[in-house]
Structure 1
Amino acid sequence: MKNFTLIGASGYIAPRHMKAIKETNNKLIAALDNFDSVGVIDSFFPEADFFVEFERFDRHIEKLRYERDVRVDYTSICTPNYLHDAHIRMALRRDSDAICEKPLVLNPWNIEKLAHVEKETGRKIWNILQLRVHPSIIALKEKIENGPKDKVYDVDLTYLTSRGHWYYTSWKGEVSKSGGIATNIGVHFYDMLSWVFGEVKNNIVHVHTHDRAAGYLEFERARVRWFLSINFDVIPDEVKAKGQRTYRSITIEGEELEFSDGFTDLHTKSYEEILKGNGYGIKDAQKAIEIVHDIRHLEPQGLKGDYHPFAKKKLAKHPFEQSE
């Protein structure tokens, strides 16, 4: 049984990490969040100590080690994107491995610096890249690898996940903290695409606003038109009619890839691989971080060339923009 701590206990994704720690028969001994609405801990580890101040959390970990010889083996990090780098460093310097939510960091050069901290401390940084353990994605990768070596596939990626006005008030609405739409909701898809289809050859952005992004990515084995949005209005009417606020679709050569099921256990599967030493480290995360960094800084070209059909959908005002 390994000892875990968790930073960012009140966030949306934290319960998946708690569940993964529990289902892999390990123990959460302490958690930290500056927001104290964390009753979900009771469903998994009611005996875990909880702190709202980093200094007390840090002192507690040190006291456990030196007074009771209780060591932290892994630190799970579920904090806002811009804090990942600092919390990873803290975890490694407390002599634990770090298991960090995506995106690992916001900029490619942050990965290079973290590699030095890994070497310095002798500890390991693991990234949750859950689509790499999804059965449908694994089967797709095997199909591509076993298919014609010279074939370049035509792919459309659409991911629409509605967010309310709160999004723009939170850290997620600040590009400097979240990395923007493509980073915040799309990084795991870009990771999956590069994992399956190889190196990036071309990266073009057609549209990039507060609520959507669209572009074209060319990989060694695929030409990908992609569209991401947090605006409910862009969701297809047939999906809205079912009362759904999320829509994801990947088509390859016009054929839909069915991967809507099997998402609930992906964090547990990721943890199982990490605990066996087979998880994904910082080098595995690098391609996707480079892709989203470039998307964030590329000048949108508008509706030119081979763009995703959804890119033509009517643009929306920022919800906080004053009407004329």
Structure 2
Amino acid sequence: MKNFALIGAAGYIAPRHMRAIRDTGSKLTTAYDINDSVGVIDSLAPEASFFTNFEEFYEHAQILRRDELQALHYFSVCSPNHLHHAHIAAGLRLGCDVICEKPLVPTPDLWRELCLIEQETGRRVFNILQLRHHEAIVLLRKKVAAAPCSSKFDVDLTYITSRGKWYAASWKGDHRKSFGIATNIGVHFFDMLYFIFGNLQRSELHYSEDTKAGGYLEYQRARVRWFLSIDANDLPKQALGEKSTFRNISVDGEALEFSEGFTELHTVSYQEILAGRGYGLQDVRHCIETVHGIRNATPRITSTDNIHPAVSSLIRHSV
């Protein structure tokens, strides 16, 4: 049994980590969040110590190191994006391996800094790349691997997940903290595309504003037109009034069905990490570089063939 600490216990994604800790036979002993709305702990880890002050949390973790039975083995980081680097570093320096949500860090420079801290501490950083464990994604990867090496697939990626006015008022609406739409909600899919289609060869940004973005990515085995949005007005007509989220990936015109099968993927990720098969810093480097490039690009269209249909529609209506 491994002892866990969790940072960001009041966040949306934290309960999935708490369940994964419990369901892998480990124990959440210590949790921290500046917000005390953490009643979910009662059903998942009622004995866990809880802190709303980081200094007290850190000191408590230091004291636990003196007792072999209570010492922490893992840090789970579910805090806002801009705090990931500092919290990962704190976990490593406490002698723990760290499991962190995406995006791990926003820039290649911070990624390299984590590599140095890993070397200094002898501990490891693992990223939750749950889509790599989704059955439909695994099957598509096998299909691509079996196709002739010279072939490239044409892919359209569309992800629209409606968010209300609260989003803009939260840390997620602050680009200094979330790093924008392409990073906050796109990094999951950019990792998936790399996992399936290989190294990124070309990236174009066609459209970017606070609530939506779109562009073109070319991988070793695919040409990808992508569009991400949190604006309900971008939902297709068939989804309006019925669903708040529209997720679609088509490969050579054939839709990939992966709307189900997400609920247990954090637990699977934890099982793999605890078994020594987790995704570490080298695995996540590519998507950090991808979103960093998108975030620093200027929207520009070089070919109408590469534009996602949703972006084309937005450009038409803005003229």
* TM-score under structure 2 length normalisation: 0.96
Aligned to 1:301: 300
**Matched residue, 1:320:** none
**Is the partner of 1:238 in helix, strand or coil?**
coil
SS of equivalent to 2:186? helix
Distance 2:151 2:314 in 1: 35
Question: Shift of residue 314 of structure 1?
Answer: 4.1
Please give the alpha-carbon distance, in whole angstroms, between the structure 1 residues aligned to 2:295 and 2:59: 38
Q: Is the 8 A contact 1:212 1:230 kept in 2?
A: yes
Distance in 1, matches of 2:34 and 2:49, equals 14
- Distance, in Å, in 2 between the alignment partners of 1:169 and 1:215 is 26
Q: Structure 1 residue 184 and structure 2 residue 181: aligned?
A: no
Q: For each residue in 1:40-76, what CA deviation from the matched residue of structure 2 results, as whole angstroms up to 9, or x when unmatched?
A: 1111001111000011111111222225752101000
- 8 Å CA contact 1:20–1:268 kept in 2: the answer is yes
In 2, Cα distance between equivalents of 1:302 and 1:239: 29
Mapped to 1, the partners of 2:236 and 2:151 lie a distance apart of 31
Q: CA deviation at 1:170?
A: 1.1
Take 1:67 and 1:15, find their aligned partners in 2: how far apart are those partners?
A: 27
Aligned twin of 2:44: 44
Equivalent residue runs for 1:1-324 within 5 Å = 1-66=1-66, 69-242=69-242, 244-302=243-301, 304-305=303-304, 306-314=306-314
Measure the CA separation in 1 of the matches of 2:265 and 2:16: 9
Which is further off, 61-70 or 197-206? 61-70
Distance 1:155 1:67 in 2: 53
Q: Residue type matched to 1:286 in 2?
A: R
- Determine the C-alpha separation between the residues in 1 that align with 2:230 and 2:67: 48
Residue-by-residue CA offset, 1:149-180 (whole Å, 9 max, x unaligned): 11000000000011111111111111121110
**Cα distance in structure 2, aligned partners of 1:43 and 1:106:** 33
- Number of residue-to-residue matches in the alignment: 314
Alpha-carbon RMSD across the aligned residues, in angstroms, is: 1.2
Pick which of 60-69 and 84-93 moved more. 60-69
In the alignment, structure 2 segments of 5+ residues that lack a partner are none
Answer yes or no: is the 8 Å Cα contact 1:215–1:225 preserved in 2: yes
Asked whether the equivalents of residues 303 and 311 of structure 1 are also in contact (C-alpha less than 8 Å), the reply is no
Displacement, 1:237?
Answer: 1.7
Of stretches 59-68 and 217-226 in structure 1, the one that deviates more from structure 2 is 59-68
Instruction: Quote the Cα distance in structure 2 between the aligned partners of 1:274 and 1:93.
Output: 19
Q: In 1, distance between residues paired with 2:105 and 2:164?
A: 25
Q: Percent identity?
A: 52
Ranges in structure 1 where 5+ consecutive residues have no aligned partner: 316-324
Letter in 1 for 2:174: E
